[in-house]
Amino acid sequence: MSFIPLPGTRAPVRVWTDPYTIESQAARQLRNIGSLPWVQGVAVMPDVHFGKGATVGSVIAMRQAVSPAAVGVDIGCGMSAVRTSLTAADLPDDLAPLRSAIEARIPVGFAQRDDAVDPRRIRGLEQGGWDAFWRRFGDLHGGVAALETRAQRQLGTLGGGNHFIEVCVEQGGDDGRVWLMLHSGSRNIGKELAERHMAVARGLPHNADLPDRDLAVFLAGTPEMAAYRRDLWWAQEYARRNRAVMLAVLCAVVRESVPSVTFAEPISCHHNYVAEETYDGVEVLVTRKGAIRAGRGDLGIIPGSMGTGSYIVRGKGNPDAYCSASHGAGRRMSRGQAKRTYTTADIARQTAGVECRKDAGVVDEIPEAYKDINQVMAQQQDLVEVVAHLKQVICVKG
């Protein structure tokens, strides 16, 4: 489908779903965003839902300004995936040992590593820039100075919530090619940086009369903007390196099981981040919160829930959407509502055939708490084309 404009806003707000299906809280947020004087335009993805300050599934182009809430607290959160030489027939009948091996090598939930990652000891991991990256930690917001050791030990860890590691099988092909996929971000350090800068922004005089103080912005040319962008770029790099470490370790676990396996070039994409881009000759800062870049030819990853599968996509470069696409299926109910609605028996039924947790701790991630990924994909055919449809056979959750 093509976009539908959302009425009642100063800047154009283009929606890639039925506007009448957007929850009232999210619609109010979108109108608040569209009323900000710095906003050039907003693109609303089909997985849109209510978030803190800015909606999840929104792409916001601002002139000479940026709102930390339009990035989110998990700065640089995103996806990585790699196609392997294996086929479904190469996988063991019992996938539990492989899942256990992954969980033993990659800390999940609140767990962290005993020591900082040594990139020289991880096969296939990029070796450049690590020392310079960590030296820049000392330049970050002073409030995180005591968190360096924790940040070092959390790099290469999954976290919890909707973060996951999966072994998937490509659908529709003759051989059922195996893919490895994961979803994670900048862990605690990204959250700490984001929340500190959000607090700074809320206290600035030019944000005093906003319809929602959580939409507070930094303005170009100010020390507050410079400090935020410095920390933002670092956190985005942390998230990218975090996923790179986990993907390399995940490949190593699979290689130990099947030594002959080979891997294609990995695909990686942020979906909570800021980028400097130009549209209609205007330079803007584009925040994608729950959205991926889908420039012409860009490869991206759009996951569903832990029982429904995911898509590898190629961007079509649609400028109306600021060259973006959805970041996933998007929640249709809150975590609390999911826990009140479903049981462990429900999650066992909805994840049948997937080697994964099926206990009370993941009921809030049950597939029916998310929108239909196939419908989400149908609503953005002018944004991306499908390269591969994947179905998970193993899902590791924090």
Residues noted as catalytic: 327
C-alpha pair distances (Å), 96 with each of 99, 167, 289: 5, 12, 34
Q: Are 55 and 29 spatial neighbours (Cβ–Cβ below 8 Å)?
A: yes
Containing H/E element for 340?
helix 335-341
Angle, vertex CA 26, rays to CA 270 and CA 382, nearest 5: 55
Q: What are 138's two structure tokens?
A: 């000392």
Rg, C-alpha atoms of the chain:
20
Report the alpha-carbon distance of residue 25 to residue 27 in Å, rounded. Answer: 6
CA-nearest of 376, 365, 387 to 166 is 365
Query: DSSP of 59-81, one letter per residue?
Result: EEEESSEE-GGGT-SSTT-EEEE
Q: Are 4 and 19 spatial neighbours (Cβ–Cβ below 8 Å)?
A: yes
The one-letter amino acid at 180 = L
